[in-house]
């Protein structure tokens, strides 16, 4: 068996069908808006999330940054989770490139931001204060365990945003995982938001790319900012073709990844020294800590597992996040559990 890679769902390689579609893709110059494959992908993405328009971008980080730059001016403030990807893992782009100030609110265990905390963070009209412009949610919420946010919760946040003349953006890198976990249409999860970003290159297995969706006016401005950031690509239909398969086929199989995450968690739960987070997994992520009786720290255990053909990514000195995806089958799960059992000895 090949190496089992549980570091992230970003490690997914394109499927054979994707590779064939990429090789045969009809292309044009996307900056001139005449790449037919990109145009088709953007139309599909907008339709799937119930928005007017969509934009193909190289990465989720760029997609989120573009959204913030459209919604906010320099000196404005964004309310977002203290454990959110935008705040912790996007290299400070909102501040460095947008002059935008984050207002972090504690994420609850279920990934949400408490509504009272959001309300308390909205600035009053005072010459001393930055202007609150935007609320950002993350669905699924990665660091909180890959937990999905509900449409009802998102609607309640959107009501706060509308009441206070704010916009709502969803970092939906794994929005289709959230939809699969709750057996709802992704369109329902996206409906309350003014803009949504979702990744094609994680659980949907495309090699490159993310989508940003919103109103036609929003996407027109986003297209201009994408060019400013260097994201205006040319014959990009060769990768957009894989994204079309992501939307047509890969969104329909994410529940398989969730089932394998549960199988993985069930196997690890039997091993001494493995302390799974309560409720884990919620989707395709298994979070756990090492017990005090385990002699290895996370980095030492990572090296022992690598020697056994299993790749993992520590999330702290004694903490792990394991992620299932298209290339993790039942045999891979069994191999991973056996490797942990051996490495922990």
What confidence tens digit (pLDDT) does each residue in 308-337 have? 999 999 999 999 999 999 999 999 999 999
pLDDT at residue 2, rounded to an integer: 87
Domains, in order of start, for the chain? 4-10+253-343 (3.90.1150.10), 12-249 (3.40.640.10)
Residue numbers of the chain with a pLDDT score lower than 70: 1
pTM: 0.96
pLDDT at residue 195, rounded to an integer: 98
pLDDT at residue 1, rounded to an integer: 56
Residues 6+ apart with CB under 8 A from 200: 206, 208, 209, 210, 211, 242, 243, 246, 247
Q: Is the CB of residue 18 less than 8 Å from the CB of residue 12?
A: no
The CA distance from 184 to 47, in Å, is 16
What confidence tens digit (pLDDT) does each residue in 119-172 have? 999 999 999 999 999 999 999 999 999 999 999 999 999 999 999 999 999 999
pLDDT at residue 278, rounded to an integer: 92
Torsion sign across C-alpha atoms 193, 197, 198, 202: negative
Whole-number Cα distances in Å, 48 to 89, 148, 179: 27, 18, 12
The CA distance from 208 to 85, in Å, is 19
Torsion sign across C-alpha atoms 185, 189, 191, 195: negative
Using DSSP's 3-state secondary structure scheme, residue 103 falls into: strand
């Amino acid at each position: 068996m090949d190496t089992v890679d549980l570091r992230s769902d970003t490690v997914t390689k394109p499927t054979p069908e994707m590779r064939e579609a990429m090789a045969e893709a009809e292309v044009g110059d996307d900056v001139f808006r005449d790449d037919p494959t990109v145009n088709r992908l953007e139309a599909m993405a907008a339709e799937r999330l119930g928005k007017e328009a969509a934009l193909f971008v190289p990465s989720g980080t760029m997609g989120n940054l573009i959204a913030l730059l459209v919604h906010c001016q320099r000196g404005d403030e964004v309310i977002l989770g203290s454990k959110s990807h935008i705040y912790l893992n996007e290299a400070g782009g909102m501040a460095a490139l947008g002059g935008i100030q984050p207002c972090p609110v504690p994420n609850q265990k279920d990934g949400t931001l408490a509504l009272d905390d959001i309300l308390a963070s909205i600035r009053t009209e005072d010459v001393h204060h930055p202007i609150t412009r935007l609320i950002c949610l993350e669905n699924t919420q990665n660091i909180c365990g890959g937990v999905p946010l509900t449409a009802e919760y998102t609607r309640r946040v959107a009501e706060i945003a509308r009441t206070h003349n704010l916009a709502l953006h969803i970092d939906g890198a794994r929005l289709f995982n959230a939809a699969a976990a709750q057996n709802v249409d992704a369109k329902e999860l996206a409906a309350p938001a003014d803009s949504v970003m979702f990744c094609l290159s994680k659980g949907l297995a495309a090699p490159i790319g993310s989508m940003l969706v919103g109103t036609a006016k929003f996407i027109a401005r986003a297209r201009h900012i994408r060019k400013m950031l260097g994201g205006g690509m040319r014959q990009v239909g060769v990768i957009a073709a894989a994204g079309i398969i992501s939307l047509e086929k890969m969104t329909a199989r994410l529940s398989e990844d969730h089932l394998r995450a549960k199988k993985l968690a069930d196997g690890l739960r039997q091993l001494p020294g493995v302390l799974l987070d309560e409720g884990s997994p919620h989707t395709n992520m298994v979070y756990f800590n090492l017990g005090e009786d385990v002699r290895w720290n996370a980095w030492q255990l990572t090296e022992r597992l690598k020697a056994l053909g299993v790749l993992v990514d520590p999330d702290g000195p004694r903490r792990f996040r394991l992620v299932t995806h298209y290339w993790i089958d039942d045999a891979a799960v069994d191999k991973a559990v056996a490797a942990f059992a051996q490495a922990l000895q």
